Structure 1
């Protein structure tokens, strides 16, 4: 998608379609200049005729604009934003999503977008944030994964360019918003492309190869992929045990970006990279098991974030770790009751082989210590229990550092990739006791998302740490099945704010 900025009057910007944001009860924007004068009466009549009220996400396409002297847009799309006094980022998102769908259906090749000044309570959502949000939504709304299809898409996306109509005073902020939005959307697209690939294509080896290829387009990225022999030398016994049931060898993908001072502590991101998870000996039910190719969405998001960070050349140091494996049943696979030793030296009784993600992550958390990190954030499609607790709207958040968790909470609110914090009380730790090892890999049927976080916390005592469970947010199921690219926006917002 090509993005442009114009400071002309909206009606003077050439486009197939001009998107005009308006508030409920037909309160049209007041800064439209000549366009408002010429079209106000006609717009009101058409709005009344078609019962357009300006409610959130409501759209009305006026097509074509015949006989309007001087107008350089062929169509006008009215976009409802609801009541001005009730406007918030959720309503803005809903409106923009509806606008992208209407533009896609209109077959417009290019569009101009003008929104009124957006106030959210006492805080103004400035041009930078608005444009960044719009770019993310446009890219997500026009995303298609057709790589494995032989036949052409029957509904191709024609929209190829969007012009943001802004005031001159906001041009610098809007330009920054475009750059950030494009980088975040790029990271999301990369994460979605990797996650949407089937498990027979996207193996641990493939994931490592694709990560390494990024060095060609991102010279500030350094990527190293450790193989099974190197993992054995590191004594990553928990991680390696998960791969024993698969013919695909495990890989640890290490991505380094050094954009900050050499002595500055890095932020370490760890993404679970289960390229397919059948549950091992504790086999999953057959229904919807195909969606277990998405068990590597945490790893895909880390790869996407590192690429986006490099694209923006953020002035900080970021490390990405992606432990990648498959989890399949086999004569050599982990068995319930087996005891393995982690890189940290703690022994783990495996009571359920389908609780394997934490076995990868615990060794990666131990590995992260060598970077003397400022903060460590792990991202994983870790527990179905998180979906039971929170549904599919927010991701789950746990951690041992209140300031880090609060920063992630606030970042999620600002970019609307939200998280909700769950407790890591000592009472939950009791559920991980084992008669035969230092700890068990599950804590029973109660509080499964929290006990998974408690398990990881045992390996994160030496640094500020947060755990983001994306089991309910990493992909959509049903008719709209596909990866979402979350939580790339959350992590990028957190990193951008850290250097703002």
Structure 2
């Protein structure tokens, strides 16, 4: 789908050839006077004055073939104070109202909307028009091909618009791979998707197979994979936007392409949704796709350990002890706690890059779903500044998270009689004890863990991947590029200072 940003008055927008037009109407919009021959403003103001449309955010009024307006279908939608969250809700409502029409070309008039709101509008259009068709024989693909976003001053919001388009692209890639069934998104297929990203500017990719992973000593990762006939893959993506000497941010995405639970077999109901257990890996792929579009001045490494968790005769058993890449031994008390086993070896591998920050992303625990539901991802971090930066990025990106505790006492339950640690610690505070397990493999590096089990996909009538937390991760990386630029900026010399001469 092609997005275009233009400076447009309402009069100009009315003259564009399109199948439909969405007019965003904020609480302050009616304060301006309509110019002569401006049918859109006159129509909108009249509808508001006559109370044909409610004032609540997302309230929508449709019209057909309004005189003086080229687009056949019109949607007037209220945006309240015009915040990013309000705009997203409003655009989503308008897109759903127009869903029955074959809209190939859309004009979205945002007027004097703020930069963040324009970005939110772009993402909302992309999200609501997405269609999954990869494994359907007669599916209708996305009809919408062209979206013109009209604003009062295109130059003022250009950067936010470009970022919104990049996020939309990354989210869609993440959704697409997470939505695919396990037999259409195997570890080998994920590696092929990564190789395609590796061809983009600034990108490179390396894919390791079972022999290379065994040579590295990734015993925990291999233990999970040994029950499946599908070979594991360890994907190493690199984006270079800064000097080679600049320490990268390392993202680690859990890539269990299907999770049966292994010998600790999951119940049958909704087990099909365990194809979404590679949501962390999908979000890393999506983030790299967005990075390729925006090219920030920052180095980023993406690590994706990917395999299936299956229960055949070779599968790891409860009570088995495996040796991780770090040398620490792990008693596998529950084979359904497999995500932390593949992540721990990837976190150990990540330390070779001497990262400025290390962030893992995983659909890790049902306990996090119970704690936070489907609104916020769980955030764990061993540095206050890193936690704050991720939290702020989530708020700005409308992809929120919430910090959870990491008190040392939570690790008590991981003690084992037969290994350095167990891989589970009982039912209480399950999301926290999982994070405490991962913390044992990050060394002294600044580290954060995002448990996205509650936000990576939806069930029921809206079943499907969300693409989260691509918006959060990209916002954090762009902010981190800005922080790096400030660190590299030369310190200005004091006015009037004289050089000190050596004697």
Same fold (TM over 0.5): yes
Is 1:55–2:44 an aligned residue pair? no
Assess if the C-alpha contact under 8 Å between 2:111 and 2:152 holds in 1.
Answer: no
Question: Structure 1's 368 and 42: CA in aligned 2 closer, same or farther, altered over 3 A?
Answer: closer
Q: Please, which moves more after superposition, 344-353 or 206-215?
A: 206-215
Corresponding position of 1:28: 30
Q: Deviations over 1:369-406 (max 9, x none)?
A: 10010000000000000000000111100010111111
Is 1:163–2:148 an aligned residue pair? yes
Corresponding position of 1:485: 467
CA RMSD after TM alignment: 2.0
| TM-score normalised by L of structure 1 | 0.91
Equivalent position SS for 1:193: helix
Corresponding position of 2:66: 65
Is 1:140–2:135 an aligned residue pair? no
Corresponding position of 2:186: 203
Corresponding position of 2:489: none
Corresponding position of 1:121: none
Equivalent position SS for 1:200: helix
Q: Which residue of 109, 123, 127 maps to 1:114?
A: 109
After TM superposition, the structure 1 = structure 2 runs for residues 208-287 of structure 1, keeping only pairs within 5 Å, are 208-216=191-199, 218-287=200-269
Assess if the C-alpha contact under 8 Å between 2:375 and 2:400 holds in 1.
Answer: yes
Is 1:4–2:4 an aligned residue pair? yes
Equivalent position SS for 2:183: coil
Corresponding position of 1:194: 177
Is 1:441–2:429 an aligned residue pair? no
Q: Deviations over 1:419-440 (max 9, x none)?
A: 0110000110111111111111
Is 1:102–2:97 an aligned residue pair? yes
Q: CA deviation at 1:166?
A: 1.8
Assess if the C-alpha contact under 8 Å between 2:258 and 2:274 holds in 1.
Answer: yes
Q: Deviations over 1:44-102 (max 9, x none)?
A: 55557774113111110121213x3xx444443211123x3xx5433222112112222
Question: Structure 1's 31 and 303: CA in aligned 2 closer, same or farther, altered over 3 A?
Answer: farther
Matches of 1:324 and 1:476, distance apart in 2: 22
Assess if the C-alpha contact under 8 Å between 1:29 and 1:116 holds in 2.
Answer: no
After TM superposition, the structure 1 = structure 2 runs for residues 93-492 of structure 1, keeping only pairs within 5 Å, are 93-118=88-113, 126-127=114-115, 129-153=116-140, 157-168=142-153, 171-216=154-199, 218-492=200-474
Question: Structure 1's 365 and 59: CA in aligned 2 closer, same or farther, altered over 3 A?
Answer: same
Corresponding position of 1:19: 22
Q: Please, which moves more after superposition, 26-35 or 349-358?
A: 26-35
Matches of 1:494 and 1:34, distance apart in 2: 45
Q: Please, which moves more after superposition, 135-144 or 318-327?
A: 135-144
Q: Deviations over 1:107-147 (max 9, x none)?
A: 333222223545xxxxxxx32x2222221111111111112
Question: Structure 1's 44 and 258: CA in aligned 2 closer, same or farther, altered over 3 A?
Answer: closer
Q: CA deviation at 1:308?
A: 1.5
Question: Structure 1's 42 and 250: CA in aligned 2 closer, same or farther, altered over 3 A?
Answer: closer
Question: Structure 1's 307 and 59: CA in aligned 2 closer, same or farther, altered over 3 A?
Answer: same
Matches of 1:268 and 1:336, distance apart in 2: 31
Assess if the C-alpha contact under 8 Å between 2:394 and 2:475 holds in 1.
Answer: yes
Matches of 2:233 and 2:34, distance apart in 1: 56
Matches of 1:394 and 1:42, distance apart in 2: 39
Matches of 2:430 and 2:318, distance apart in 1: 17
Assess if the C-alpha contact under 8 Å between 1:59 and 1:80 holds in 2.
Answer: yes
Q: Which runs of 5+ in 1 are unaligned?
A: 119-125
Matches of 1:206 and 1:19, distance apart in 2: 39
Equivalent position SS for 1:104: coil
Q: CA deviation at 1:43?
A: 4.3
Q: Deviations over 1:152-185 (max 9, x none)?
A: 42xx5433222222223xx224322232222211
Is 1:91–2:86 an aligned residue pair? yes
Matches of 1:142 and 1:39, distance apart in 2: 25
Question: Structure 1's 474 and 35: CA in aligned 2 closer, same or farther, altered over 3 A?
Answer: farther
Matches of 2:451 and 2:151, distance apart in 1: 38
Assess if the C-alpha contact under 8 Å between 2:218 and 2:345 holds in 1.
Answer: yes
Q: Which runs of 5+ in 2 are unaligned?
A: 483-503
Question: Structure 1's 468 and 39: CA in aligned 2 closer, same or farther, altered over 3 A?
Answer: closer
Assess if the C-alpha contact under 8 Å between 2:85 and 2:120 holds in 1.
Answer: no
